[in-house]
Structure 1
Amino acid sequence: MSSYDVILVLPYPFSDHPSFPEGILKKALEIEGFRVGSIETPFWQKSQSFTILGRPRLFFGIISGPVDSIVLNHTSSRKRRKDDLYQVSGQAYFEGTPPSISHKIRPDRTAVVFANRIREVFKDVPIIIGGLEASLRLFSHYDFQQDKIRRSVLVDSKADVAVIGMGEKQLVSIAHFLKKGNPVQKLTIPGTAMMYSQFPAEKGFVELPSFESVQSDRSALIGMQLTLERAISEGNGVVQRHGDRYVVAHRPEEYHPSDIDRIYGQVTPVTTLDTPAFHLRFR
């Protein structure tokens, strides 16, 4: 068992800077009394790379990053980028390895890859995914790089929970919920999404066209997106069927001025210092 309550996993070096989510999320949890560790740039080809800090008491939190991994790894002409500006010296590949896709520090669809690797070694530890990949790929979506409609990131990653948008309040609420011994399957926190076997019985949910219908008719994706945006703006939850299961996004979390003041006042100031590894870049 790890000495950490929460372990954050990210595909780039940790930075305590307001432009990056990891520093603020870590402080938000620590202020609430949780001990937080982080695994940076794990060698994702081997699942044992995710065990270096042991098993967290509460959950793994995968931070896919402030930019989608497909956007960072590919150009608009679908060619693979040779560098990664979020890595030390822009180095996109693990040191001492050939420049191939299997040796990219940031794999394509980072949230999916990291979650599946963690699940290989920690079968029953809750996995929470966040970042742009979790939010923008939560429902059926068009993948430009593959030129096809892909299903929800929750289905492919097998993660337990996806945090939508800003995650400071949600992550703290999840930590308190699990600390009380509650099963992650019972979690209904606003601003989160999960997979369910049944359509929610509660009111306030808007159903999107199923993944199968969007996959067979790409034009339905436009109407689906309009319905999704309208439902979110009206404060409703959203549901989409994938086969015999449902992706359920609970109503959006509300961030009031007092919340923002607390997050960016009490939680910050950040040091604006990056990981020591970045210092090599400026020598």
Structure 2
Amino acid sequence: MKTDFIPINMDEAKRNGWKYIDVVIVTCDAYIDHPWYEAVRSARVLISSGFKVGIVSDPTKEDLAKFGKPRLFFLVITGKEDSMVMNYSAYKKYRSSDPYQSGGKRSNRPDRAAITLTSNIRSHFKDAVVVLGGNEASTRRVTHYDYWSNKLRKPILFDSKADLLIFDKIELNCLRLAKHMRGSLGIETLYNQPGIAYISKEEPLNMVKLPSHEDCEKDKVCYVDMYRIFLSELNFSSKGIYQKVMNRYMVINRLHKPYTEDQMIDIFSQSYKNRPHFIYKEPIPIFEKLLATGIVTQIGDPVNLNFNSFLTEGKDINKRPFGGIIKDSHRIKKLRSFKATFKNIGYGKMEQMAIELKNRIKCEDCKRYTCFETAGKSMCSNIVFNEQKYIDLLKTISESKSVRQILDSTTIDYRVMDKCDDIIKDYIKLRTGMKALINSNSFSDKVRRANDLEESKQLKGFITKYIKKSGEYGKNRSLEVVLNSSLPGETFETVKETLKYVMDNELIIGEVRPFIPLPLTVQSVVYYSEKNIFSFEDVDVIKDTEEKKLLEKILNFQKKGKRKDLKYHLKRKKLNNILNMVEKYEASEL
């Protein structure tokens, strides 16, 4: 009997009438057949083009041989998240659970999964072609700071010894690679294509040269300079970049141009099952919480520069046509598990559906790495907002007796919403429960400048506007701020600015997230170099674990059960000013 899922072993492949596999895709996550995953999108696009694809999820070393050697290549997409982030906390403690696995249990995800999986594949098939893609590979394509070993590491192709790295429009790259290899063309025939990175013995011509890996190791300022050049070349018209590593060269081609509307329709009209494979007997937390009634609305992220999605999927917005989003909503409404509420349309990017461009051609030469505000730049003038089109889409999805409401259960994208009063009105009245979360990072301008974030004036202005509008619309909506502790630039002096603003404005801290320097993000470069990446000014960076933990405790001052311990540590460190602020706040609660 033919299986509707992507085969996970040869028995399932044979049910489809397949005697061999062209491409084996390897991921450390449990297999959920949902377009949120790059691995699944890539597999479905390949299958629809006539290729035979198998998927190996959460593999042991032996599992990697279950399909035998594929006719074309192995594609290693280690998972939706970085393997080191999934395995270790901000304090480098081993995590006890994994939301991407059945039952949320720890499983086979190795440290530095791209390196380990490639090595394990080679142990079975020495001459197999191994291609890296996805988050872990894309964010390590040049010299990068590795928080867990506290040092710079070489581009991941050197450490993994894989044959090729694909980034940006991964679905398109997979298909192009498969077609080339099916035509008996070697992978070297793709070396001039966008979204491709490879190792060369010869120094490239007519490309932008980065400081060498060895020079970066010797000089932190040199590493910052390398990163600045790297960011400036994240565009469609770049000649490409290369970096010398020992006696060879890491070559990275330019980005792809944005997907066309037809390409987006093709990617998202595949026969996704939108559920976990039936092999899993326990619920998978990420599916239950995020994916079961969620809808992917775009590929790319032009806003969140300190998350590494802009390195994996690109900074350009590739939006799905609204017809496809509406079709997905109809499918979800028919599910038995649907409880009349959509909670994850856009997965944290719901408001970005209103973003449009005056002229997409202008984006091709853009040297900016984000379209929105940073410490030194305002929002790109090429961006406009179509608020009514966005609101009409949500109204269309809501036009059914089976839909009670559409909520945004993630954090507010305030840099978008601040410019869209109609969206604020729609959000307050219809899209949030009694509380909303806003990712604030820090309220200290010194900290925000160090991390190339816009001044706190915009954030504070939005908070004031949101609270005022809630009252005007007759809605009692609380706004909870999400803060990051131990950001570069954060000290026991700057944290007082955040405390003061929160206390003076009677805000609630909804969550405190300990900072993790993700590879090749602005924050990780500042953390390692202790330099502002544009002004080269010195930045205070707290790296002592105990001091980091204390900063987290300080920002969690509203938790009554932990306040006694906080005051003890503040007295011990003689941080009397902060202690007085906490005690004053405590007295105000009585």
TM over 0.5: yes
1:200 aligns with 2:217: no
TM alignment of 1:110-121, pairs within 5 A: 110-121=113-124
Match of 1:222 among 224, 239, 250: 224
Question: C-alpha displacement at 1:91, in angstroms?
Answer: 1.1
| Matches of 2:259 and 2:100, distance apart in 1 | 31
Q: Secondary structure at the match of 1:154?
A: helix
Q: Secondary structure at the match of 1:114?
A: helix
TM alignment of 1:266-277, pairs within 5 A: 267=270, 270-277=272-279
Deviations 1:202-260 (A, max 9, x none): x3x21111110111112322221110010122532110111011111112122333322
Conserved? CA contact 2:181–2:187, under 8 Å: yes
Letter matched to residue 31 of structure 1: S
| Matches of 1:217 and 1:74, distance apart in 2 | 28
Conserved? CA contact 2:200–2:248, under 8 Å: yes
Q: What residue in structure 2 maps to residue 60 of structure 1?
A: 74
Deviations 1:143-191 (A, max 9, x none): 0111100111100110111111230000000000111111223322210
| Matches of 1:199 and 1:120, distance apart in 2 | 31
| Matches of 2:209 and 2:172, distance apart in 1 | 26
Q: Secondary structure at the match of 2:255?
A: coil
| Matches of 1:33 and 1:163, distance apart in 2 | 21
Letter matched to residue 139 of structure 1: V
Q: Secondary structure at the match of 2:157?
A: helix
TM alignment of 1:110-189, pairs within 5 A: 110-188=113-191, 189=193
User: Which deviates more, 253-262 or 145-154?
Assistant: 253-262
Question: C-alpha displacement at 1:261, in angstroms?
Answer: 2.5
Q: Secondary structure at the match of 1:8?
A: strand
1:38 aligns with 2:52: no
Question: C-alpha displacement at 1:24, in angstroms?
Answer: 1.1
Q: What residue in structure 2 maps to residue 102 of structure 1?
A: none
Q: What residue in structure 2 maps to residue 99 of structure 1?
A: none
So what's the TM-score if we normalise by structure 1? 0.88
- Measured on the aligned residues, the alpha-carbon RMSD in Å equals 1.7
Match of 1:82 among 96, 103, 108: 96
1:15 aligns with 2:32: yes
1:242 aligns with 2:245: yes
Letter matched to residue 203 of structure 2: F
* Structure 1, unaligned runs of 5 or more: 94-104
Q: What residue in structure 2 maps to residue 72 of structure 1?
A: 86
| Matches of 1:190 and 1:251, distance apart in 2 | 5
Instruction: Flag the structure with larger Rg.
Output: 2
1:262 aligns with 2:279: no
So what's the TM-score if we normalise by structure 2? 0.43
Q: Secondary structure at the match of 1:232?
A: coil
1:190 aligns with 2:199: no
Q: What residue in structure 1 maps to residue 44 of structure 2?
A: 27
| Matches of 2:198 and 2:96, distance apart in 1 | 35
* Structure 2, unaligned runs of 5 or more: 1-9, 11-18, 285-590
| Matches of 2:210 and 2:223, distance apart in 1 | 10
Runs of 4+ in 1 over 4 A off after TM superposition: none
Aligned residues: 264
